Amino acid sequence: MVKVILSRLARLVATILAVTFITFIMTALLPGDPINAILPPDAPRDPEIVAQIREEFGLDDPVLVRYVNWLGNAARLDLGESYVNRGQSVMGEIKNRIPVTAQLAAMAIVFAVVISVPMGVVGAYRQGRAIDQATSAASQIALSVPNFITGIFLIWLFAVKLRWFPASNWNRWDKGIWANFRTAVLPASALALSQMAIFSRLVRSDMIATLQENYILSARAKGLNDRFILLRHALRPSSLSLVTIIGINFGALLGGTVVIETLFALPGLGFRLINAINSRDILMVQGITVFVATVYVVINTLVDVLYAFVDPRIRKG
């Protein structure tokens, strides 16, 4: 077991190194001179000041040297300072904004799971019947609608027409849980819809496969009722892919809430990333990207571990 954990950790570190290296190189290769981001557009380009800045940010070092320096700092959780807002630390910005994005992603996943699991189970149980066809069609449609269209529709219906939830803005936790929840419901739902569609199809198809298994027939032959068999025998073996995709999609959502955060004007990570890209704030872009990628990799490792809880056969491995 210790050996397994050590090898997983080694793989995790290797992956993070590769991921940071690639994102660093790619963002470093973005066109445009960082000087133009650091100095206001109308500021005079005094060669001495420019040279000083280049020195300060290490802009003339080879990319590899810059990466190693950056990595050294990153290991101490220092991701540098914003080029544009001098004095603003990248890590501080991430800390500031990740709660919003993480909450959105988590709520979206929870909403999606709560709806999709019963949908998938019923679809599999009533395979080919009206209810299955209806839910399959619904998830097909949900999958083909882009997030922001869903978002606009939700705003129109629940904010403008019904006035149940606000159309934009964000209340932090300290304003009260309900106040916070109200501002999160619509954007999280907009993100949840396509997740729900993906999850329910996955649960349905895994469940259909599980229901063919001999142990399901054995359970029937014991006279257990269908509900018990579905929930206590078939659901767990059918949820391995779901656990995987939840991990992957949660990671992806952390970097993928940009459009919804923009639509709802939320102070999240995605909104900040777009901002940084627009102003060529390279260090900020690098910091956020690397952060998201790292979280993504860590989550996937955690999913591997979670697997063992779902399937006892893997625990030994």
Contact residues toward another protein (CB under 8 A) are 128, 213-215, 217-225, 228, 232-233, 236-237, 310-313
How many Cβ atoms sit within 10 Å of the Cβ of residue 227? 10
Q: From CA 291, how far away is CA 268, in angstroms rounded?
A: 14
Our measurement of the distance from residue 305's CA atom to the centroid of its chain's CA atoms, rounded to an integer in Å, reads 19
Kindly tell me which of 238 and 286 has the beta carbon lying closer to another protein.
238
CB of 132 to another protein, least distance (A): 12
Residue 69, C-beta contacts closer than 8 angstroms, at least 6 positions apart: 58, 61
CB of 115 to another protein, least distance (A): 24
What is the per-residue burial (b if ≥16 Cβ within 10 Å, else e) of 169-198?
A: ebbeeeeeeeebeebbbbbbbbbbbbbbbb
CB of 117 to another protein, least distance (A): 16
Range 92-97, long-range pairs (CB < 8 A, 24+ positions)? 93/272, 93/284, 93/287, 93/288, 94/269, 94/287, 94/288, 94/291, 96/267, 97/267, 97/268, 97/269, 97/271, 97/272
Kindly tell me which of 140 and 218 has the beta carbon lying closer to another protein.
218
Q: Which amino acid is it at 136?
A: S
Q: Can you name the residues that pair with 81 across neighbouring β-strands?
A: 89
CB of 202 to another protein, least distance (A): 18
CB of 121 to another protein, least distance (A): 16
CB of 236 to another protein, least distance (A): 5
Kindly tell me which of 34 and 123 has the beta carbon lying closer to another protein.
123
CB of 300 to another protein, least distance (A): 22
**CA neighbor of 85 nearest in space, from 28, 37, 24, 35:** 37
Q: Which amino acid is it at 256?
A: G
Kindly tell me which of 148 and 307 has the beta carbon lying closer to another protein.
307
Kindly tell me which of 142 and 235 has the beta carbon lying closer to another protein.
235
Kindly tell me which of 41 and 312 has the beta carbon lying closer to another protein.
312
Kindly tell me which of 44 and 312 has the beta carbon lying closer to another protein.
312
What is the per-residue burial (b if ≥16 Cβ within 10 Å, else e) of 260-277?
A: bbbbbebebbbbbbebbb
CB of 312 to another protein, least distance (A): 5
- Which residue's entry shows tokens 């860590």? 298
Kindly tell me which of 94 and 211 has the beta carbon lying closer to another protein.
211
Q: Can you name the residues that pair with 89 across neighbouring β-strands?
A: 81
